[in-house]
Chain A
Amino acid sequence: MTTIVTGLEIAHKIEQRFPGAVVEATPEAAVIDTDRLLDVCTFLRDDDDLRYAFLNSVTAVDQLELFEVVYHMTSIRDNKTTAIKVRITDRDAPRVPSVTDVWPGAHLQEREAYDLMGIHFEGHPDLRRIFLWDGFAGHPLRKDFLNMPGGLMAGLERFPGEPGESLGGRG
């Protein structure tokens, strides 16, 4: 079975090597400071104990006030998997260092995050839109892209047929 290294454990290891790099440690992932991201990633890939050489996925999430970029990685040698995150508070011009130097497999995934979320990856060799055409206005996966009348956002508050009062979630 794959050992899932929780965010707390990996945060502990990163903190030992790069004090001050970890902003927050949740069970799912360790949140890293944007400026130290490349050092941390190189450490995760090259360190003898860790050896997270395989990057599973690079994703961006629009958490309403801020953006999050999530990196899932696996160590093929030891069969472990873990995740780290980066938070970007600047919603108008979000910038993150690109990890394509550390893991070349992030190339296409970062282009997708740029295209659909608008996050600019610094140091990416070829950052241009991939699914949408050049000149498309806006970034569709952002929560404020649809700006429907009435100030509605994408999301579902209740399933049709359920009674009036909300049973959870945000509108």
Chain B
Amino acid sequence: MRLDAKWYDLRDIGNAVGALLEQINDCGAPDWVPYVVSSLIGVVGILLWTVLSVLAFIWIERRVVGLMQNRIGPNRVGPFGLLQPVADAIKLLLKEAITTRNSDKVLFWLAPIVVFIPTLVIFAAIPFGEKMVLADLNVGVLFLIAIGSINTIAVFMAGWSSNNKYAMLGAMRTIAMLISYEIVQVLVLLGAVLFVGSMRLGDIVAWQDDYNTWLLFMQPLGLLGYVIAGAVEMNRSPMDIAEAESEIVAGYHTEYGGIKFGFFYQAEYLAGFGIAAIIVSLYMGGWTLWGLEDWVPGWLIFLAKMYGVFFIYIWFRGTLPRLRIDQLMGFAWKFLLPLALVNVLVTGGEVLLWQEAGLSAGEALPLFGVVNIALAGALVVGWAIALGHRSRERVAHRAILTNELGAIYYGEASPRL
């Protein structure tokens, strides 16, 4: 039950913007003025908010990962190290932005910008509240996928133009990785879109609100696939092969310093927020929380959920080691892709069943949810075993303890854990 949408109703900032636009219209301005004004407000708002979020999360990530590693994290600059991001930003701005001698100058200069822009543009299509979407596209999901894949070419530009073998290695790995996981991503999102019946993100959130359920209960395989594919898109651990510090120094951004590196750094965080925002909108109910949005502003709920999902990604980074590139691609093509295909098939079947059999939502949805979750569990475990997960060569074991000096145990069966 929503209150009357007054301009001071903070639960949806779109109300205030709408009131402002009405005022402008009443003053008799030409038609294009309200459009420009609302776009400007949206753009400035997103820019400000993303920059502030990145600054905050630089601090949060370093502290949280530090705590996971049994150490304190930055605590020198300002109280509790809170001014650390400011110090980082100032350092990056003041550093000499070196352009290596034999690099391709135009591409070298352009690559950070091309990496940064798509990560900002993603936020245009995401609904922060009921009237808080900058671009209410009715092909929202397609837009997100398309913009997200510009990342691939940007990373390759960075790696190629650096004239550095480590950067080339990093760029090659990234392209292979991103292309493999794009396909998984598309199929998984297709499942979600099939279920809801619309590609518009506002519709998907409204669907989850109307049926009082979160899409992740209906599409567990989809969530699994998207969380993993999202981690790859973000170039974050455990899939940070492109910038694997312990192997190829810094991968595609080895040669970048100063504010050019600052762009890459910020783009990584923004991509992380973008993926988290997509997960929240599509699978976790967006800005709704089963009625709580009547009291608490919807955009606050959205931000809280988004930061929660991003925290899980930080947790991954602090805990898991890194896969090798061929193992990562094998995982995408052999494990996730069949699962995503099965997901699409089953989802399509369920939607058909729902429409044809005329079931009501109260019967159909719990049934589908239970079936999907059970299927997801069975498929993940079963397919892993079918792919050889439990075979002798992949199982952990301990050393054999012996007292026979000079004996040779090579080739014997090792004791299981």
Contacts and interface: CB of A to CB of B under 8 A. Distances in A.
A3 interface: no
A154 interface: no
Interface in A38-97: 76-79
Contacts of A78: 406
B400 interface: no
B320 interface: no
Nearest to A76: B406
A6 to B, nearest CB: 21
Contacts of A77: 406
B87 to A, nearest CB: 42
A45 to B, nearest CB: 16
Nearest to B405: A79
A77 B407 CA distance: 8
Interface in A79-133: 79
A77 B405 CA distance: 8
Contacts of B406: 76-79
| Range class of the A interface residue count | under 10
Contacts of A79: 405-406
Contacts of A76: 406
Interface string B377-417: 00000000000000000000000000001100000000000
Interface string B261-279: 0000000000000000000
A128 B406 CA distance: 35
B402 to A, nearest CB: 14
Nearest to A2: B405
Nearest to A75: B406
A57 to B, nearest CB: 20
B408 to A, nearest CB: 9
A71 B405 CA distance: 23
A23 B116 CA distance: 77
Nearest to A78: B406
A79 B404 CA distance: 12
B258 to A, nearest CB: 35
Interface in A12-59: none
B155 to A, nearest CB: 38
A78 B406 CA distance: 8
A79 B405 CA distance: 8
B189 to A, nearest CB: 55
A32 B331 CA distance: 59
A51 B406 CA distance: 12
A149 to B, nearest CB: 48
Nearest to B408: A76
B406 to A, nearest CB: 5
B407 to A, nearest CB: 9
A24 to B, nearest CB: 31
A77 B406 CA distance: 5
A115 B293 CA distance: 77
B404 to A, nearest CB: 12
B328 to A, nearest CB: 35
Contacts of B405: 79
A32 B142 CA distance: 80
Interface in B38-78: none
A158 B181 CA distance: 73
A78 B405 CA distance: 9
A81 to B, nearest CB: 13
A100 to B, nearest CB: 23
A77 B408 CA distance: 10
B229 to A, nearest CB: 46
A42 B406 CA distance: 21
A141 B405 CA distance: 37
B309 to A, nearest CB: 52
B237 to A, nearest CB: 36
Interface string B89-132: 00000000000000000000000000000000000000000000
A143 to B, nearest CB: 40
A113 to B, nearest CB: 29
B203 to A, nearest CB: 68
A79 B406 CA distance: 8
B367 to A, nearest CB: 67
A150 B405 CA distance: 55
A79 B407 CA distance: 11
Please provide the 5 A-B residue pairs with the shortest distance between their CB atoms, ordered closest to farther. Answer: A76-B406, A77-B406, A79-B406, A79-B405, A78-B406
Interface of B: 405-406
5 contacts: A76-B406, A77-B406, A78-B406, A79-B405, A79-B406
